Amino acid sequence: MGLELYLDLLSQPSRAVYIFAKKNGIPFQLRTVDLLKGQHLSEQFSQVNCLKKVPVLKDGSFVLTESTAILIYLSSKYQVADHWYPADLQARAQVHEYLGWHADNIRGTFGVLLWTKVLGPLIGVQVPEEKVERNRNSMVLALQRLEDKFLRDRAFIAGQQVTLADLMSLEELIQPVALGCNLFEGRPQLTAWRERVEAFLGAELCQEAHSPILSVLGQAAKKTLPVPPPEAHASMMLRIARIP
């Protein structure tokens, strides 16, 4: 059995892994795990990842979770172009610097809108408006820090070429936009960065990977999304309760 990737393109980290593998011509077998249908909670999937989360990489008997680890593994095993994960120590350290900051300041913060606008209502839960407002303010602050600390006068987050940092960041920032929150309005520096990253990745690949998140709000309005099974509700409500 060759490389297998367990993904749901509704998930930001899953999209990053999918885009990376496709862009670099890495052969893989796609194993779709439909989160809304609760497939990540199945006994079959728990044998792949007991944490019951995507993405997951399975390479023979080797199993790896967490999107950053997966991207680094793929970069190294398939010897992709150096700009993704530079061999130069300092350039690589800058990628890691951003990824560490990203985990604390972008990941999670920019995913909240999916919970407030789509996932919560699917199970009959409304997130208090004060939490929505706090999240909005947190996103604004994070974007300002992203521009001031990382982008500055650079073309990309960690330098003058696309790295794993740009891919991870793009997938998080695209999600609120798809849900009606235009983060890029009034931010020409960030807008130019997004355009450069998407141009590098290619319009066709971006459209393919982003299609599920771009359509989810319309599906929610039409009530055509699958309602998560009852066994998923407890973990979903716990995640919603953890929104600051």
Domain that holds residue 94: 89-241
Q: Are residues 185 and 69 in the same domain?
A: no
Which of helix, strand or coil describes residue 4?
Answer: strand
Confidence label for 16 from pLDDT (cuts 50, 70 and 90): very high
Position 237 pLDDT exceeds 80: yes
3-state helix, strand, coil in the chain (%, to 5): 60, 10, 35
Confidence label for 159 from pLDDT (cuts 50, 70 and 90): very high
Report yes or no: 230 and 40 within 8 Å, Cβ to Cβ: no
Question: Does the residue 52 lie in any domain?
Answer: yes
Contacts of 3 (CB under 8 A, 6+ apart): 26, 27, 28, 29, 57, 58, 59
**Helix H or strand E encompassing 65:** strand 62-65
Confidence label for 186 from pLDDT (cuts 50, 70 and 90): very high
pLDDT of residue 184: 94
Bridge-partner residues for 56, per DSSP? 6, 65
Position 1 pLDDT exceeds 80: no
pLDDT of residue 181: 93
Position 156 pLDDT exceeds 80: yes
pLDDT, tens digit (0-9, with 9 covering 90-100), for 113-151: 999 999 999 999 999 999 999 999 999 999 999 999 999
Position 78 pLDDT exceeds 90: yes
Question: Does the residue 226 lie in any domain?
Answer: yes
**Residues 199, 233: Cα–Cα separation, whole Å:** 39
Q: Are residues 109 and 55 in the same domain?
A: no
Cβ-in-10-Å burial (0-12, 13-18, 19+) of 239 comes to middle
Q: What angle do CA 45, 76, 99 make, to 5 degrees?
A: 75
Q: Give helix then strand counts, H and E, for the chain.
A: 11, 4
pLDDT, tens digit (0-9, with 9 covering 90-100), for 17-62: 999 999 999 999 999 999 999 999 999 999 999 999 999 999 999 9
pTM score of the predicted model = 0.96
- Number of folded domains that form the chain: 2
pLDDT of residue 208: 97
pLDDT of residue 100: 97
For 90-95, what is the mean pLDDT?
98
Position 5 pLDDT exceeds 90: yes
Last residue of a domain, one of 77, 109, 129: 77
* CATH code assigned at 208: 1.20.1050.10
Question: Does the residue 83 lie in any domain?
Answer: no
Q: Are residues 99 and 133 in the same domain?
A: yes
Question: Does the residue 143 lie in any domain?
Answer: yes
Percent with pLDDT over 70 in the chain:
100
Of the candidates 169, 148, 147, 151, the one whose C-alpha atom is nearest the C-alpha of residue 159 is 151
